[in-house]
Chain A
């Protein structure tokens, strides 16, 4: 695991307003085999929405 991923894990966010990969599969009823793939779509926009929330919407 990279230092980046370790810090991400250390600062894990548990919120109904921020979905982890596991939450995404469950919420959208997606095959569990897509765990890695959803990081490239849903995972990406969760990160973008988080950044937007903490920058533009925190101004």
Chain B
């Protein structure tokens, strides 16, 4: 049986650009799927950590995955404490991100003059209703959110680490901090998806100024994750989930989205961090841009042609993803394993590849769990070098 040390080494090798003993897999499973599999109601169980850990324990004992699955809930206790309008629980208990706009286009000058001041004085009281309460209720709300994230986060971290060792999972850190592309930050937290796309036509200069002033914040946010300690590329990896790029016209992408993202990535990399990117949607028309980033960026792809992605991106960077998760619902065992072998034949040669789905499993009913087990076992066997 492979132990935790062996599996950790698989990831350590791939992330360092070395050839591992076999292809590691990191099939994403959300905590909600694990909770539902364990028979819990998402509307209740996510408000604590005991049921989340119990559900994670069950799913990790059952499936011989390389990484811990079904853990880290969306922390609805934090979003409730601050009265979030941007992150709310749906009727079935699954957390949703409504397309809300927080900032008006007439406020660009305020944002540009002092982004942090604008956020604390204007954006946050609008996005989080508890912050618009009078003193000391607003301070208590902030304190509660900060303490809950810190205290419950530490409990989860320690329990997850012990569970990783108990069930022979990798402990190699793949993600230790989060930052964002400046344009995505402007769209997702200030102007909304539709507002940002309208602004690049109506107020192009303001948008360019805004992403320029947000860029240092995106870099400093990543740097702040180590609380002043100098990072190492192996142990400090910053995650960027890319959102707006594929919804923009290529010329708009090149003008408004890419330049400040590229600068952010290079600065974070130069400061000593590893880079993890989730390329949401289909990046086939934009693949060449990844060549402008520093080497060995770990890029998770959702859709696209695996052969072309391997050819254009896989030589310089580390690739993860693209196995169609919906096949686990509709496919037979033979179809599920045949597809895995087909993908491995293309992606495994030369290394720098981590097996994963195109999208994480979010809900228990989304897949046939027997197929999940067949898939994980198949990758371990067929993925040997």
A, B in one complex: yes
Q: A residues engaging B (CB < 8 A)?
A: 2-4, 6-8, 10-18, 39, 43-44, 47-48, 50-59
Q: What are 30 A-to-B residue pairs whose CB atoms are below 8 Å?
A: A4-B230, A7-B267, A7-B268, A7-B270, A7-B271, A8-B223, A10-B267, A13-B116, A13-B217, A15-B115, A15-B117, A18-B116, A44-B227, A47-B223, A48-B224, A50-B116, A50-B220, A51-B225, A53-B120, A53-B221, A54-B179, A55-B177, A56-B149, A57-B82, A57-B145, A58-B180, A58-B185, A58-B188, A58-B189, A59-B87
- The answer to whether A3 and B228 touch across the interface, beta carbons within 8 angstroms, is no
* Nearest CB in chain B: distance from A19 CB, A: 11
- The answer to whether B228 and A7 touch across the interface, beta carbons within 8 angstroms, is no
For A16, the chain B residues whose CB sits under 8 A away are 114, 117
Q: How far apart are the CA atoms of A57 and B116 in the complex, in Å?
A: 12
* B372 within 8 Å of A (CB atoms): no
- The answer to whether A47 and B228 touch across the interface, beta carbons within 8 angstroms, is yes
B residues 209-233 near A (Cβ < 8 Å) are 215-221, 223-225, 227-228, 230-231
For A17, the chain B residues whose CB sits under 8 A away are 114, 116-117, 119-120
For B124, the chain A residues whose CB sits under 8 A away are 57
Interface residue count for B (Cβ, 8 Å)? 43
> Which residue of A has the minimal Cβ distance to B84?
A59
* Nearest CB in chain A: distance from B55 CB, A: 22
Q: B residues engaging A (CB < 8 A)?
A: 78-79, 82, 84, 86-87, 114-117, 119-120, 124, 128, 145-146, 149, 177-180, 185, 188-189, 215-221, 223-225, 227-228, 230-231, 267-268, 270-272
- The answer to whether A3 and B272 touch across the interface, beta carbons within 8 angstroms, is yes
Q: How many A-B residue pairs have CB under 8 A?
A: 95
The 7 closest A-B pairs by CB, nearest first: A54-B221, A11-B216, A7-B271, A51-B224, A15-B116, A47-B224, A17-B116
- The answer to whether B117 and A39 touch across the interface, beta carbons within 8 angstroms, is no
> Which residue of A has the minimal Cβ distance to B113?
A15
Q: How far apart are the CA atoms of A26 and B281 in the complex, in Å?
A: 49
- The answer to whether A50 and B221 touch across the interface, beta carbons within 8 angstroms, is yes
Q: How far apart are the CA atoms of A2 and B231 in the complex, in Å?
A: 11
- The answer to whether B270 and A55 touch across the interface, beta carbons within 8 angstroms, is no
- The answer to whether B223 and A4 touch across the interface, beta carbons within 8 angstroms, is yes
For B119, the chain A residues whose CB sits under 8 A away are 17, 53
> Which residue of A has the minimal Cβ distance to B271?
A7
